[in-house]
Structures are given as structure tokens and as C-alpha cells.
């Protein structure tokens, strides 16, 4: 059974742009908003601060989180094109950081790139 979407829906450009890929396939770089932002942590962050990107597992569920140097989770990187590739690179030991572009009580926008 096929679906139908009007042109204005098909052409919308919301969400994160796909990551730019060069070299070994792990030189990813993209901008996105974090999901599940922890307001008590994000409220104290400033533009230009660096967060660590790490892979976390809880049972059978794996997620990619952005955390402060002290280990406080700010939010999750989720629902964007290239997430599975990022997870694979993290599993291989490739390191990433997230540069905060905007942070508030309820929102944290970051640019993620390889260390």
C-alpha cells in the first residue's frame, strides 16, 4: 500500500542536515538539537562550550549522549540521518565532541565533529 504526500510536505527542509562524510567514513560533521535535554544541566551551559559525545547502553538500548567534562548528560543525539554511522564510528573508538551553538533551559543546539 503506497502513501501520498503533497509536494509542500515532501520538500520541507526541517530537522538536521545530513552529515558531511570524508576520509575513512568517520569524519562526520553536523548540526542538530539535542533530544531529552536535561534542563538542570543545560541552563548552566554557554555558547562555545565543548561537550563529549559518547555511546551509552542501558539493557539492549544504545544511545549517543552529549555530556559535560564532569559526566553530566545534557541530552541525546537522536533521529537524524547518519546516526547509525556515528554509532558505528564510536564503537570503533573514534572520538567526537559537540560545540554548543545555543543553550537554554529547554534547548541545546550543537555542532558535532571528530576530535
Please give the pLDDT value at position 10: 44
Strand ranges in 13-107 using DSSP code E only, listed in sequence order: 29-33, 50-58, 61-67, 73-77, 96-103
Does 3.30.70.2330 match the CATH number of domain 22-114?
yes
Determine which helix (DSSP H) or strand (DSSP E) holds 110, and give its type and residue range: strand 108-114
Contact 112, 30 (CB under 8 A): yes
Task: Judge whether residue 12 has pLDDT over 60.
Answer: no
Average pLDDT over residues 69-77: 96
Of 12 and 72, more confident: 72
Average pLDDT over residues 37-43: 94
- Strand order of the sheet with strand 108-114? 29-33, 108-114, 96-103, 50-58, 61-67, 73-77
- Burial of residue 115 (CB within 10 Å: 0-12, 13-18, 19+) is exposed
Please give the pLDDT value at position 20: 65
Question: What are the extents of the domains in the chain?
Answer: 22-114
Of 74 and 22, more confident: 74
Task: Judge whether residue 11 has pLDDT over 50.
Answer: no
Amino acid at each position: 500500500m503506497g502513501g501520498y504526500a503533497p509536494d509542500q510536505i515532501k520538500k520541507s527542509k526541517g530537522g538536521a542536515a545530513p552529515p558531511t562524510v570524508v576520509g575513512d567514513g568517520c569524519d562526520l560533521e553536523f548540526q542538530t538539537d539535542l533530544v531529552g535535554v536535561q534542563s538542570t544541566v543545560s541552563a548552566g551551559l554557554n555558547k562555545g562550550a565543548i561537550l563529549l559525545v559518547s555511546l551509552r547502553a542501558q539493557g539492549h538500548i544504545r544511545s549517543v549522549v552529549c555530556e559535560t567534562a564532569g559526566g553530566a548528560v545534557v541530552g541525546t543525539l537522536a533521529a537524524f540521518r547518519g546516526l547509525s554511522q556515528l554509532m558505528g564510528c564510536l564503537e570503533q573508538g573514534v572520538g567526537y565532541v559537540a560545540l554548543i551553538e545555543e543553550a537554554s533551559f529547554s534547548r541545546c543546539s550543537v555542532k558535532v565533529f571528530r576530535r
